[in-house]
Chain A
Amino acid sequence: MSTLALPRPLEAGVLGWLRANLFSSWSNAVLTLLALWLLWRTLPPFIDWAFLDAIWSAPDSRACRAARGESACWAFIGEKHRFILFGTYPYEQHWRPGLAILVMLALYAVSAIRRFWRPSLALWWLAGLAAIGVLMWGGVLGLRYVENERWGGLMLTLLLATFGLAFAFPLAILLALGRRSALPVVRGFCVGYIELIRGVPLISLLFMASVMLPLFLPAGVTVDKLLRAQIAMILFAAAYLAEVVRGGLQAIPHGQVEAADALGLAYWKKTLLVILPQALRIAIPPLVNTFIAFFKDTSLVVIIGLFDLLTSIKVSLQEPAWTGFGVEAYVFASVVYFAFCYTMSRYSQNLERELSPGAGRGALRDD
């Protein structure tokens, strides 16, 4: 055969790499050139706009207006950064939400380390959430009381996500166990709940919380808007998390259940000591993916007028001096959300590789 006589292509060095990965055939070469052309047409203008020609600080919006379209106006973000971070929280008290953000990040960091995956982690979370509550509300330890109508910005986004997950998670475990229960009433209840919530868009639940919930309560009893939205988000997240936990429960070999039965363990002991620790460990990567989806979904509260990160950016844009800088504002919002979500997503991928060596290329994210 003549093919055997052909010299083997050079595989080492830069040229060899280029040849193997970019120009291995005619069609590949055309694709490469097409991609390069696309990059050439988009990347340099974008870099000029976003970095080289950008206006990083300006006393007012006049300089930005003069250069509309040619240069990004990051001065807008500089001008409004306190508002975007903390909303209308009293200005001289901003260290309090700042510190609360650090506490939340610390909670996430600790939960991410496998050495701390033990029951005492729940206690750390309780302590952390209590500390956040004291910092934000105040009223004790000489801190001024700040009503929660004034909470806002990135702080509120993180709060909604953190408290939402903290309360939805235990509820989700109960729902998942209930869905696999042998008791028909309990099972029907859980299946109905999960399917109902997963079948409707989150917006309809948020509308429900903002207009319908007040009707449900006796006259004179009022629950403030933030808490109502938080309840809706908890109910929503619980249904999605429950399905993930159920996936973990289903992955446990039946022998484990039989072994626990053989030891004579009663239902709750069997569940808490044998089944859940294994099921949750399996379910952690898809759980993180659900966390990411939930974190992104907190942005929907803008529709019912809660003051989260996205709302504070939108409100900043309504100031006459700064109208029309929407692209800059939403690019900035995207960068902030991306930073959080991408970190979680990389973490989940690493974890998956560690937990199941030799397993495939990673689970699908379905959010």
Chain B
Amino acid sequence: MKRSWLYQAGLLAAAGLVLWFFVSNTARNLETLRVASGFGFLGREAGFEIGETTFLPFSAADTYLRAFGVGLANTFRVALIGIAVATLLGTLIGLARLSSNWLVAKLAAVYVEVMRNIPLLVQLFFWYAIIAENLPGPREALNPFGSVFLSNRGIAVPVPEPHLAYGWMLAALALGIVAALGVSAWGRVRQAATGRPPPAAWAGLALVAGAPLAVFFLFGAPLAWNRPELVGFNFTGGAALTPEFAALLTGLSTYTAAFVAEIVRAGVLAVDKGQFEAADSLGLPRRRAMRLVILPQALRVIVPPMTSQYLNLTKNSSLAVAIGYPDLVSIANTTMNQTGQAIEGIAIIMLVYLTISLSISAFMNWYNRRIALRGAAR
């Protein structure tokens, strides 16, 4: 026992020595380079423009701190949309791989194998080359449907004109969700008392979808589209996805979809056949069997690897720097090149990603404890 404490003290001392060596070297090097360490530079004027912004407007006269904020917002924008698309696409492909239709299953398998055996960065460059080099200019833009235009300047899509009604619809949606939760709680109490489930699910759905719709019609269904139109050499109006964003989003979501597909497939396969039969023999209708018996068990297998895929997608969005989408890493890179504050720049990147990772893994642990089999040894 004594010897083990000696080892550990030795390890600590060695780690401390190495750390001291690095820190003292760094301090001396910074002094000779005349770089002031610390985060004071964040308040200074950035002096560079950012190609696209989310929520926060930005100009060259704004501070570095604001630039980092814009970068973070851009990271979140591409990550959140990417996660939604990847989940949808991945679930479809995962189920397709389980299909009894030979052709569909084989196509899904080919998709998965191709996507996950090619580095994401190569795929990003590929999509970027397709959009920036091979799509026609705005004047000959491809027009697959409606007012959607594909050109080498990006993708132009129509958006609804802002209207007062939309804010109220959001509020109604929130209210509807709260009411639906209340109804389902009442339903459970009712079922416990009478043994008969009231149609709480339908009532809830009606509340969630109905409340915003009612508000929409109350305002006289205000739906005006802001359509992109070709003016001069580019499109104005509507919303434009830049080539960088479009390439990054396509690359991230199609790549991650392959991994999501495998997770969904494994989750469904993991539910024992006997569980389907048991639900049948209890006389549960198919939909309730799915909701009460199959899904909870499949989700127990699916959710943990799925969260780690979401985390991977968020971390992979840092590859944006390679194709010029202004995410957090790319802003930090520009800042480091301009100010020479390498340590601070990298510290900010690491801190942000660590915070995201650790909060997601904290959530994961909480979720795992919640869904763990009661009484099972962990």
Contacts and interface: CB of A to CB of B under 8 A. Distances in A.
6 contacts: A185-B11, A185-B12, A196-B354, A200-B315, A201-B349, A326-B129
Given A199-B353, A326-B126, 9 more contacts: A35-B107, A204-B346, A204-B350, A207-B333, A207-B336, A212-B346, A310-B121, A310-B122, A330-B126
Contacts of B308: 366
A189 B15 contact: yes
A219 B262 contact: no
Contacts of A334: 118, 122-123, 126
B41 to A, nearest CB: 15
Given A184-B8, A334-B118, A324 B133 contact: yes
A359 interface: no
Interface stretch (A134-142, A256-264, A294-302): A294-302
B211 to A, nearest CB: 34
Contacts of A331: 126
Interface stretch (B27-35, B60-68, B187-195, B199-207): B27-35
Nearest to B15: A189
Interface stretch (A7-15, A76-84, A110-118, A335-343): A335-343
A63 interface: no
Contacts of A364: 262-263, 266, 305
B103 A216 contact: no
A45 B114 CA distance: 19
Interface string B313-345: 001101101100000010001001000001101
B101 A28 contact: yes
Contacts, number: 175
A52 interface: no
B102 interface: yes
B368 interface: no
Interface in A145-199: 182-186, 189, 195-196, 198-199
B263 A296 contact: no
B38 to A, nearest CB: 15
Contacts of B122: 299, 310, 330, 333-334, 337
B366 interface: no
Interface in B224-270: 259, 262-263, 266, 269
Nearest to A331: B126
B4 interface: yes
A360 B266 CA distance: 9
